[in-house]
Amino acid sequence: MTIDHKRVAVLSPIAWRTPPRQYGAWETVASNITEGLVSRGWDVTLFATKDSITRARLHAVVDRGYEEDTAIDAKVAEYLHISEVFEHAAEFDLIHSHYDFLALSYTRLVKTPVLTTIHGFSSPGIMPVYQKYRDGYFVSISNSDRAPGLNYLATVYNGIDLLLYPLKIPGGDYLLFLGRIHPDKGVHLAIEVARRSGLPLLIAGIIQDQRYFREQVEPHLDQTIRYIAPVDVAGKNELFASARVLLHLNTIPERFGLVLAEAGAAGVPVIAMDLGSCREVIQDGETGFLVDNVGEAILALRRLPEINPDACRGRVQQLFSVETMVEGYERVYQTVFALEATRQS
Amino acid sequence: MTIDHKRVAVLSPIAWRTPPRQYGAWETVASNITEGLVSRGWDVTLFATKDSITRARLHAVVDRGYEEDTAIDAKVAEYLHISEVFEHAAEFDLIHSHYDFLALSYTRLVKTPVLTTIHGFSSPGIMPVYQKYRDGYFVSISNSDRAPGLNYLATVYNGIDLLLYPLKIPGGDYLLFLGRIHPDKGVHLAIEVARRSGLPLLIAGIIQDQRYFREQVEPHLDQTIRYIAPVDVAGKNELFASARVLLHLNTIPERFGLVLAEAGAAGVPVIAMDLGSCREVIQDGETGFLVDNVGEAILALRRLPEINPDACRGRVQQLFSVETMVEGYERVYQTVFALEATRQS
């Protein structure tokens, strides 16, 4: 395929820096796309916080992520940040938005086509915005995370930089939970697996639901079930190095599950609830096990020796690498350009 | 002056219906402007909630005010409502926005000129938005409520429909507080005046700060100091009818003070703190008294017989009527059209 290296604006969220220091899946993906496009010769401008790090041109009007600096008024920052890219729309051939539903409300005011990657539907309340702008250009991050009626051009799986997640040494002793401490992520189910199997559990992640942590996590902490702070990439690799398995017993459909790909890259098998995208990311019996409940998760622990770490990494390399993702987006961009050319002719 | 009756879009807030059932100063003013323009032959489209009442064309995408229906996601509703007027910008010669700072972020994406009436600066956090769009067209609602550096075309005082507020019968026994129950409005100071003067006090208004009400208002309520629910226009007139004076002992600079005009129309004198716009609305010694503290307010009570109710109403008729306001805006609109014509030539 021949590629016109046109001018692309990537609109990243501003909850966190791009890329984020620790938590921040949307900013992570926006960063990976940006850097991947730059590597492949595209002319990219990243709209993100001023402290963001990129090899693209950085265009920023907000100093820091509003989750990182309480002095920043999130509502004000969002309006300033989003409108900025649209005010510069004429300088780009494409605006690639990662900014939830808010950016859609500006799309009809500019001539530049806007592609929106939907990283998740944060609440049913936002659906009227998607319905109004349903004829826009959309990408889903898994086949399972789609809303009916939207003009999806493709599913492009999130991609990670495999250089950041080297293959671990074989073996490992503890169960690992890595993610937001929130009921959606099933930390309490991971704890139940640990208690019933007698295996140690390490829990790492940002505490997003304080009450859930206080009531359903903290009381169970002891010598074998431990909570450690949120971790950065180096911290994740340390945790992966001696982990037996990643437990991802989500209680609602997963949208993509970036941590599943990260664990896979490191050769850590995953036991995941069979909800949402998990079955797209994990190959059951090959890179981990899909389960329907805690009992099945405990049974799956016995089968972990069947999993080959190289197979885990291989699947991520093939399907969930930055390169694969960027190639996927390049195809979508070409589709957009072709559709726009048809519209104008 | 000759007037081209061009097509105007009035963008009202959607916290409440336009006009509001009870509280809602911004929606009240937007309604008064809309209806006044219609009376004078303008082609007006009102962008407001679907349940709004107007003689203009109503364009609505949000069912009800988000303060009146908790099922409505305010953030979603704001984006849908504001973007709607800008998506229809080409159908209008002027967009007259009453929507705080949010609408500014769309103004540079359309060719139609946008005039913003600044009904107040809700927090220092929003000032960066005004600074970015400072070269827009702005109207202040009092000379005192201006931010430096903005391109103000005029001050246009808020106007009320005097037919709604008939002149009361002379006399009256109680002190009246009418407004939001919030420290900014000095309800506690009105209570102090009542206690020290021994006069009864009626307090009516929406409880915006529950803690303030609980701690600084409720403990003082008894037979002579009474709190009654928020009131509509009929309720206000009932309260005005037997009021001796309106106490408006605001603790921060008033932006305009619509209730001061309403009281004046009814012939109720006002004792107001000399902060912000109060000195523009109240003529000291003629329609009420400007004071600096509670002691002065108590002294001013003795001078109430000096105030002539007809003078109160006369001042409102002259300066704060819908007719005066609409004529003021017509002059501003003509200025905008003239400036736009110059820009394009």
The pLDDT > 90 percentage for chain A reads 92
pLDDT of the residue at A169: 85
Residue A276 Cα distances to A153, A169, A262, A272, B11, angstroms = 20, 30, 18, 10, 41
Task: Give just the sign of the alpha carbon dihedral B187, B190, B196, B200.
Answer: negative
pLDDT of the residue at B16: 97
Identify residue B26 by its one-letter amino acid code.
W
DSSP assignment of B22-52: SS-HHHHHHHHHHHHHHHTT-EEEEE--TT-
Give, for A188, the enclosing helix (H) or strand (E): helix A187-197
Q: State which residue of chain B sits closest to A133, comparing Cα positions.
A: B80
Chain A neighbors of B82, CB-CB under 8 A? 105
Beta strands in B225-325 (DSSP E): 225-228, 243-248, 270-273, 288-291
Q: Are the C-beta atoms of residues A92 and A112 closer than 8 Å to each other?
A: yes
Q: Are the C-beta atoms of residues A239 and A226 closer than 8 Å to each other?
A: no
Using one digit for the tens of pLDDT, what is the confidence trace for B269-321?
999 999 999 999 999 999 999 999 999 999 999 999 999 999 999 999 999 99
Q: State which residue of chain B sits closest to A110, comparing Cα positions.
A: B109
pTM of the model: 0.87
Structure-token pair, residue A81 = 């940040």
Beta pairing partners, B176: B202, B246
Using one digit for the tens of pLDDT, what is the confidence trace for B125-173?
999 999 999 999 999 999 999 999 999 999 999 999 999 999 998 888 9
Q: Are the C-beta atoms of residues B56 and B46 closer than 8 Å to each other?
A: yes
Q: Give the separation between CA A30 and CA A8, rounded to whole angstroms.
A: 12
Give, for B116, the enclosing helix (H) or strand (E): strand B114-118
Q: Are the C-beta atoms of residues A256 and A281 closer than 8 Å to each other?
A: yes
- Nearest-5° angle of CA A5, CA A7, CA A13? 120
Given CB atoms, is B91 within the 8 Å cutoff of chain A? no
Q: Are the C-beta atoms of residues B207 and B213 closer than 8 Å to each other?
A: yes
- In b/e form, how buried is each residue of A182-202, taking b as 16+ CB within 10 angstroms? bbebbbbbbbbbbeebebbbb
Closest Cα partner for A3 from A60, A50, A58, A41? A41
Q: Give the separation between CA B191 and CA B186, rounded to whole angstroms.
A: 9
Q: Are the C-beta atoms of residues A304 and A244 closer than 8 Å to each other?
A: yes
Helix ranges (H only) for B147-306 are: 187-197, 210-212, 233-241, 258-265, 278-281, 294-302
pLDDT of the residue at B169: 85
Arithmetic mean of pLDDT, B107-118: 98
Q: State which residue of chain B sits closest to A108, comparing Cα positions.
A: B87
Contacts 24+ apart (CB under 8 A), B71-77: B73/A123, B73/A125, B73/A126, B75/A75, B76/A101, B76/A125, B76/A126, B76/A128, B76/A129, B77/B14
**Mutant choice from B64, B78, B79 vs A, greatest count of A C-beta within 10 A:** B79
**Mutant choice from B76, B86, B91 vs A, greatest count of A C-beta within 10 A:** B76
Arithmetic mean of pLDDT, A87-102: 97
pLDDT of the residue at B1: 47
Using one digit for the tens of pLDDT, what is the confidence trace for A9-44?
999 999 999 999 988 889 999 999 999 999 999 999
Q: Give the separation between CA A188 and CA A249, rounded to whole angstroms.
A: 9
Check pLDDT > 70 for residue B2: no
User: In what side-by-side order are the strands of the sheet with B57-59?
Assistant: B57-59, B43-47, B7-11, B94-97, B114-118, B137-140, B152-155
Q: State which residue of chain B sits closest to A70, comparing Cα positions.
A: B125
A4 pLDDT band (50/70/90 cuts)?
Answer: low
Q: Give the separation between CA A209 and CA A207, rounded to whole angstroms.
A: 6
Q: What is the ipTM of this complex?
A: 0.83
Check pLDDT > 80 for residue A224: yes
Asked if the Cβ–Cβ distance from A106 to B101 is below 8 Å, we say: no
pLDDT of the residue at B282: 97
Asked if the Cβ–Cβ distance from A79 to B105 is below 8 Å, we say: yes
Residues making up chain B, counted from first to last: 345
Average pLDDT of every residue of chain B: 95
Decide the pairing of beta strands A57-59 and A94-97. unpaired
Q: Give the separation between CA B194 and CA B153, rounded to whole angstroms.
A: 42
Arithmetic mean of pLDDT, B51-80: 96
pLDDT of the residue at B104: 97
Structure-token pair, residue A88 = 């510069």
DSSP 3-state of A291: strand
Structure-token pair, residue B139 = 């109207």
Residue B57 Cα distances to A94, A333, B8, B50, angstroms = 36, 41, 10, 11
Q: Are the C-beta atoms of residues B141 and B157 closer than 8 Å to each other?
A: yes
The shortest C-alpha distance from B139 to chain A (Å) reads: 21
Arithmetic mean of pLDDT, B324-340: 97
- In b/e form, how buried is each residue of B134-163, taking b as 16+ CB within 10 angstroms? bebbbbbbbebbeeeebebbebbbbbbbbe
